[in-house]
Amino acid sequence: MSAANQSIRTCLVTGAAGGIGRALVKTFHEVGYCVIATDIGVKPDSLTYSRYVQADLARFAEDETYASKVIADLHQALNGQGLHVLINNAAVQILGGAESLTRQDWRTTLDVNLLAPFLLIQALLPELEAAKGCVVNIGSIHARQTKRNFVTYATSKAALSGMTRALAIDLGSRVRVNAIEPAAIETEMLKAGFTGKPEIYTQLERCHPQQRIGQPEEVASLALAIVEGGMNFLHGACISIDGGIGCRLYDPE
């Protein structure tokens, strides 16, 4: 790796076309990172990135031939540079309860939300280690507190937090690994679940002690602080950003 390449900071963001993904890409691009954005679709409009790699993470987790091609594309995008930051943000949310969930629901959820992040870390470990890089896994409050019909999603996010802690032990001082666990964040995916139900959305806002929904930019700012905030001792942490809702006990008053 040349001295010139060593001076370039690189960041890979999965799920870059979503609400949190776009905020992550924008935030890291604005502070000078070469941002490699990935998502399942073609290059999104109005997304500021340095390079784009199209990747279906469910297929990535299942098909070794396809996975090898994606990793080759990522290596080409890195162009011999190390990888300073890997943000595993992509996720699927398949709703259903004990009676309705199928094998395919479980496979898809665990492949995208858990196995793909691990396989990306594993495949890009030499680049992460060369850059003394770090991994930020975007988890969810559902890792700790959940509700009905979130069985697969909550399980996958709890496992992602567990993997974060386990990899911190496994990798030691080679690569830092941390996670962010947001509560409700104002994204198109969240708002779509409340279409035609504005009163329920208002109730959700009021459930948070701050009386509002979080913003994607707040998650991105926390990710940047984890990476660049001079907190290299922060390792294996799963950090809540939840407007205080994780502290709230729902009992009759």
Q: Take residue 148 and report the two structure tokens written for it.
A: 């009905």
Residues paired with residue 39 on neighbouring β-strands, in sequence order: 54
Report the alpha-carbon distance of residue 22 to residue 51 in Å, rounded: 14
Q: What is the CA radius of gyration of the chain?
A: 18
Report the alpha-carbon distance of residue 169 to residue 52 in Å, rounded: 32
136 CB contacts (<8 Å, ≥6 apart)? 85, 86, 87, 88, 178, 179, 180, 223, 226, 227
If residue 228 lies in a helix (H) or strand (E), which one and from where to where?
helix 216-228
- Assess contact for 219 and 185: CB atoms under 8 A: yes
Residues paired with residue 185 on neighbouring β-strands, in sequence order: 214
Report the alpha-carbon distance of residue 141 to residue 56 in Å, rounded: 25
Q: Is 153 tagged catalytic?
A: yes
**What does the DSSP 8-state code read for residue 112?**
I
164 CB contacts (<8 Å, ≥6 apart)? 137, 139, 177, 178, 179, 236, 237, 238
Report the alpha-carbon distance of residue 64 to residue 112 in Å, rounded: 15
- Which position among 33, 49, 52, 153 bears the catalytic label? 153
- Residues belonging to the active site: 153
